[in-house]
Amino acid sequence: MPDSPCSDPIRHEGAVVIGGGPAGLMAAETLAAQGFAVHLYDAMPSLGRKFLMAGKGGMNITHSESADAFVRRYGARADRIGPMLEALSPDRLRAWVHALGIDTFVGSSGRVFPTDMKAAPLLRAWLHRLRESGVRIHTRHRWIGFGQSSDGWHVLRLAAREGEVEVAARAVVLALGGGSWARLGSDGAWLPILAARGVDVAPLRPANCGFDVEWSELFRVRHAGDPVKPVALGVTALDGTVWQRQGEFVISESGIEGSLVYALSAPIRDLIDAHGHATVTLDLAPGRSVENVAAEVARPRGSRSVSSHLQSRLGITGVKATLLREVLDKDAMHDPAALAAAIKALPLRLVRARPIDEVISSAGGVRFEAMDDRLMLSAMPGVFCAGEMLDWEAPTGGYLLTACFASGQVAGAGAAQYLRT
């Protein structure tokens, strides 16, 4: 059961952590391990709600690929995330999970999962260990801003069931999440609060998201929910980099979504932000060369329809065949050269990212330039930030969670160091 919430303003000699997700819990554990009293506050009735939701499809903790490849997943922020991973690498993270009594395994894709594929046992074991180490947990306490701070103490205003309360501490770790899945506690409400205090923040944007396509009504009714596989998705980013990945995605009521789309969502989103739309290409026959496809399409089809011809020569049927008809006009469908080119690079116009509240994660947040290497805010000495509220993004596959854990450890260690000065 969660600890009882406090009813009176209190001054904590140790540290306060705001946020009960992976980053906040790791910061609390790091502080407690160094002998500091820790009070953790969270807005929700229970902790780790987004963590548990993410684990419903199988708790992907981290990834087993090489260190260099792993760090590159963080794109423009690899130089800041990389040093954090040196202290809590994927291997060390697996060892940490094992110490909680949870076994792990590496899946065929290289992703790392708990043996039972569930998040709840891990979270329960972790919370038990935190309480045993003395961490005090206060649920239903929503952070709403700062009070009047003085003499090196930071006053935090919290909305609780009994009304607003204030707590004060010399060191504070904020681990408030990004802007996705607000119903689970990550609503981005902290961003204007920090901006008003002179903290450099970037607007929150969707990441690992689906995109809207202006489907015809016939296509939407016929194919919403259908997977498209195998297929390769390509996009040319704003800087001219050409990205292409093979996998599968799903036709949705509004557009496209799924793991392949999420993997390239950052450059697609940036194109839409810059131009109002993005054009991606679909290779509907990724196992065949351009020359092979052109030769097969050009073969005489006799009395057969174009659809029958594509099915017999290239195995293109179902949603793939309908996608061609959705994008191409009648003349192109009957022009072998144009049809073959479209099969290898079908242009698809994406008009917007899905709303941030329904996507897997968010980009933007507290810029690394606003913090030192310990993740302490330059504008607010003694206040540290961790997790998804930092300005970084990564694809799914364990990279999001690993960086949240690692940044929580860095912020917790930084707060401990600050308290010792």
Q: What is the DSSP string of 28-53?
A: HHHHHHTT--EEEE-SSSSS-HHHHH
Conformation bin of residue 225: beta by default, left when phi > 0, alpha when psi is -120 to 50: left
Distance CA 255, CA 3 (A): 44
The H-assigned helical ranges of 36-141 are: 49-54, 67-72, 78-87, 90-99, 120-132
202 forms bridges with which residues in the sheet? 365
**C-beta of residue 263 within 8 angstroms of C-beta of residue 209:** no
Q: What is the pLDDT of residue 5?
A: 42
> What pLDDT sits at residue 55?
79
**Sign of torsion over alpha carbons 130, 136, 140, 144:** negative
Look up tokens 């291997």; give the residue: 91
Nearby residues of 230 by Cβ (< 8 Å), 6 or more positions away: 246, 247, 248, 286, 287
Q: From 283, 11, 6, select the one nearest 139 (Cα to Cα).
A: 6
For the CA atoms of the chain, what is the radius of gyration? 25
Q: What are phi and psi of 325, to 5 degrees?
A: -70, -30
CA angle 209, 265, 356 (to 5 degrees): 35
Residue 57: the pLDDT is: 75
Helix (H) or strand (E) holding 339: helix 336-344
Residue 10, pLDDT score: 75
Q: What is the pLDDT of residue 9?
A: 46
| Amino acid occupying residue 64 | S
**In this predicted structure, what is the pLDDT of residue 2?**
41
User: Residue 122: which region, alpha, beta or left (left: phi > 0; alpha: psi -120 to 50)?
Assistant: alpha
Token pair of 375 as six digits: 């993740």
Phi and psi, residue 160, nearest 5°: -120, 175
- Per residue of the chain (421 residues), give pLDDT as tens: 344 444 444 778 789 999 999 999 999 999 999 999 999 999 999 999 999 998 787 899 999 999 999 999 999 999 999 999 998 999 999 999 999 999 999 999 999 999 999 999 999 999 999 999 999 999 999 999 999 887 889 999 999 998 999 999 999 999 999 999 888 888 999 999 999 999 999 999 999 999 999 999 999 999 999 999 999 999 999 999 999 999 999 999 999 999 999 999 999 999 999 999 999 999 999 999 999 999 999 999 999 999 999 999 999 999 999 999 999 999 999 999 999 999 999 999 999 999 999 999 999 999 999 999 999 999 999 999 999 999 999 999 999 999 999 999 999 999 999 999 9
What's the rounded Cα separation, in Å, for the pair 174 and 160?
18
Q: What is the pLDDT of residue 7?
A: 44
Closest to 310 (Cα-Cα) out of 291, 328, 336: 336
